[in-house]
Amino acid sequence: MTQANRKPFVGGNWKMNTDSAAALSLIDGVASGLKNDAVDVAVFPPFVYLREMSDKTSGSDMLVGAQDCWFESNGAFTGEISIEMLKDCNVKTVLTGHSERRHVIGESDQLVNKKTKAAIAGGMIAVLCVGEKLDQREAGQTDAINESQIKAGLDGVSQSDMSSVVIAYEPVWAIGTGKTATPEDAQDAHAKIRALIATMYDQSTADSTRIIYGGSMKPGNANELMAMPDIDGGLIGGASLVADDFLAIINAGQPQSV
């Protein structure tokens, strides 16, 4: 199966950026520039703006997502946000295991796994983020790190649940640095991830799972990255904060343009 059989997914991870006014104007800019539904488009604003963003996009195909979640439904978890609360805000997708959660906040593979399973059980698309740090890349450990994060992150996730999972390969050294993996290196990592999914589940699950790239994806490099057969879209940080740049990346993901 080729990329053409998987609907591209392009997400904008706003991280801890925008304020209320900037978030509203950014989502307006993105919504007004979307041309068709050939690409699944999601934005991941800060928690506090989720309801406003969902209200703004209700009736459109754009998905509003959360950057994180907690795995219990309610209770004494000060500062945390449950999947139920996210659903209440019409959130449809959630990032799990983003590298900043893993390496700045200190989340373990086990916690990422609980969050991923909670997101799937709640009917969300879980975007499981994986990727190696610079020293791991230099030590030739890229595929081993991806494998261990994916195996741990998907522990207990059934084959049928895999239709609710998108995998984001985000090499940590490429995030926010302006350094992008070459299309060939990114393709190689994606192909290995797809082969891993085939061994964990089966070939048809591997063929239908979307694997997206993140790490300094910009309008200037999105076309060549997304033209690769195993790169099914992108998870965009900095460039998703500028509506025109994000729209240009979404356009690069259109199946007919690759």
**Binding region for ligand 13P (CB under 6 A):** 13, 98, 170, 175-176, 214-217, 235-239
Q: Which of 100, 107, 147, 170 is catalytic?
A: 170
- Is 98 labeled as catalytic in the residue annotation? yes
Shortest CB 10 distance to ligand 13P, Å: 11
Shortest CB 239 distance to ligand 13P, Å: 6
- Is 170 labeled as catalytic in the residue annotation? yes
Nearer to ligand 13P, 147 or 170 (CB): 170
Question: Which residue's beta carbon is nearest to the bound ligand 13P?
Answer: 237
Nearer to ligand 13P, 75 or 106 (CB): 106
Shortest CB 31 distance to ligand 13P, Å: 20
Nearer to ligand 13P, 156 or 176 (CB): 176
Shortest CB 216 distance to ligand 13P, Å: 4
Q: What 3 state SS string does the chain have?
A: CCHHHCCCEEEEECCCCCCHHHHHHHHHHHHHHCCCCCCEEEEECCHHHHHHHHHHHCCCCCEEEECCCECCCCCCCCCCCEHHHHHHCCCCEEEECCHHHHHHHCCCHHHHHHHHHHHHHCCCEEEEEECCCHHHHHCCCHHHHHHHHHHHHCCCCCCHHHHHEEEEECCHHHCCCCCCCCHHHHHHHHHHHHHHHHHHCCHHHHHHCEEEEECCCCHHHHHHHHCCCCCCEEEECHHHHCHHHHHHHHHHCCHHHC
Nearer to ligand 13P, 201 or 228 (CB): 228
Query: So which residues are the catalytic ones?
Result: 98, 170
